[in-house]
Structure 1
Amino acid sequence: MRDVCWRCRRPHPVCYCALLPSLPTRTRVVLLQHPRERRVGIGTALMTHLALPNSELHEGVVFEDDARIAALASDPTTAVLFPGGDAPAAGGAPVRSLIVVDGTWWQARKMLALNPRLASARRIGVTPRAPGNYRIRKEPRPECLATVEAVASALGALEGEPARFDEMLRAFTFMVDRQIEHQARSKAPRRRRAQAASPLAPLRPYLAEPARVVLVDGGASSGWPAGAGAAEPTSELVHLVACRASGERFEAFLRPRRPLGPSVAHQLEVPEAHLRGGEDAGAALSRFRAFVGDGGVLGTWGSFTGDLLAQEGFGRPPSLDLRDLCARHLRRRPGGIANGARALLAAEPVARGSGRAGRTVGWLEVVLARLLDLAGEDDVAARGAA
């Protein structure tokens, strides 16, 4: 077992405590650290906290019920440090408390999405005076600095003393240099622990192009042949709703070709007149084929809608079963789509069309967004471990 410094949690040969300043500040710095970041040895939230006596470090993902964070977020003198915000000196109330979301870009963005109070608070951002020094970890955008770099830059601007807060970076530079030296000294080929493939690997091709996925749900009519004797019900597609991440939407009511079941409209939560007055099935499916396009991939919850489309002669284009991906990630059956979305900590949906199908497509939209974020986090973690 390695001998580890109790304060910085680093092995003693690479302990940086001797290089840490203790810098009093007028601004209260409140660090919100994603739980996964606590396990990253080269993270800098703790380093920042140790250098600033007037700071707090909280770990978690959702802080909506945290009274302390809620009070801070509603205070007009609080700002959230996040890429793309206003410059620290851009006017407005003086910043007395600075909330800093610590995590990868994917984690930080999702933490804001899950915390509406934080998301609605004033934001400030910093423009790096020089490229970030995080040479052992790749950032997705030039303005995405290590937490300690971003805080030092923001405090320098807020308190008018950039050089004083540059002292925080000595420990950071030491940590980065020691890590690079350690990698260079290793003569033997690096041994990598075999890692199981990510359960969300099928989503990787869509991380950069989420709009290729067409989220779709269909409603069916269980019709009965005419005549009192009858028989087995036969299903046909009568309602189809779809949308893309780009915001494009599709909806069609398909005129029934068989007698309409007595409770179909009620079950699908749409007016019966819309079903009876729908367009020709062939025309509707032709429009949907054009909406999907050549490179489109269907995103569904289970196989029901894909089976309905195939039964109508639409064929079976490439598809993603989001229910299956959700189950793989959760390592259990997710149940209905609303339960699955909430288990993933997805955002609340907005209906994307009429009735049950429109509501389901709204749920599909937030599930896909959450799964893509998780797949992106897995990719970042895999590159960091390589």
Structure 2
Amino acid sequence: MQQVKPQTQLVILQHPSEVEHKKNSVKVLSLVIPDTQVYVGETEADFALLSKQLMNCGRPVYLVYPSERSVSVEQQTIGADCILLLIDGTWRKAFKILQLNPWLTQLPAVHLPEGYESRYKIRKSSRSDSLSTLEASAYMLKALDEGLDVSPLLAAFDAMVAIRLQAMPTEVRLRYD
């Protein structure tokens, strides 16, 4: 598996229910980008040390989360030497983490522009703009550094999806085609 070494530091706040999930894209993300930092938790206490570290790290930190206050990554100039903070979980769980951690609302929030289609065939979402954490990371990294080759990330992700589809009974697999 080819690794990717971006200038951008990825920090993932992962909901505890995602850790052992078989469809966990963060595991694949961490294999391709080994410098990815993953913090498991939900409450402000779970992330207390991390929030202090981020506030004092000397690098710009951006929350990747689409909201009314977030700005498209393409509408501003963000250097690749920054930290992207992503929340890993279902929309409901990610929103809960956001609500339980007011320090996150102090960070500038960014989102991807419309038009990205998820390759995550094995998980369903009620939102049309849903991407896996790996996909969102890959597209954000590419937006910050056009010269960065994110194809190893997407290839590893596609391989994981294919393996999970193959492991499903035929009648279940048909629901995902």
2-structure distance, mates of 1:46, 1:128? 26
Q: Which residue of 1 aligns with 2:12?
A: 31
CA apart distance, 1:21: 2.5
1-structure distance, mates of 2:163, 2:44? 35
Q: Which residue of 2 aligns with 1:81?
A: 64
CA apart distance, 1:52: 1.1
Does 1:169 pair with 2:154?
Answer: yes
What whole-Å deviation, never above 9, does each CA across 1:6-29 have from its counterpart, x for those lacking one? xxxxxxxxxxxxxx3211111110
| Structure with the larger RCO, 1 or 2 (CA within 8 Å, 6+ apart) | 2
Number of residue equivalences:
167
Does 1:150 pair with 2:136?
Answer: yes
SS in 2 for 1:83: coil
2-structure distance, mates of 1:103, 1:33? 6
Identity of aligned residues (%): 25
2-structure distance, mates of 1:98, 1:23? 16
2-structure distance, mates of 1:148, 1:93? 20
SS in 1 for 2:65: strand
Q: Which stretches in structure 1 are left out of the alignment for 5+ residues?
A: 1-19, 190-386
Does 1:49 pair with 2:30?
Answer: yes
**Could you say if the C-alpha distance between residues 25 and 67 of structure 1 is closer, same or farther in structure 2, counting changes exceeding 3 Å?**
same
SS in 1 for 2:127: coil
Q: Which residue of 2 aligns with 1:110?
A: 96
CA apart distance, 1:159: 1.2
Question: TM-score, normalization: structure 1?
Answer: 0.40
Assess if the C-alpha contact under 8 Å between 2:10 and 2:83 holds in 1: yes
Does 1:66 pair with 2:48?
Answer: yes
Question: TM-score, normalization: structure 2?
Answer: 0.83
Assess if the C-alpha contact under 8 Å between 1:73 and 1:118 holds in 2: no
* Aligned-partner residue type, residue 133 of structure 1: R
CA apart distance, 1:82: 1.0
**Could you say if the C-alpha distance between residues 147 and 128 of structure 1 is closer, same or farther in structure 2, counting changes exceeding 3 Å?**
farther
Assess if the C-alpha contact under 8 Å between 1:27 and 1:54 holds in 2: no
Equivalent residue in structure 1 for 2:83, among 97, 121, 124? 97
Q: Which stretches in structure 2 are left out of the alignment for 5+ residues?
A: 173-177
Assess if the C-alpha contact under 8 Å between 1:25 and 1:54 holds in 2: no
2-structure distance, mates of 1:40, 1:34? 11
2-structure distance, mates of 1:81, 1:138? 20
CA apart distance, 1:139: 1.6
Greater CA radius of gyration, 1 or 2? 1
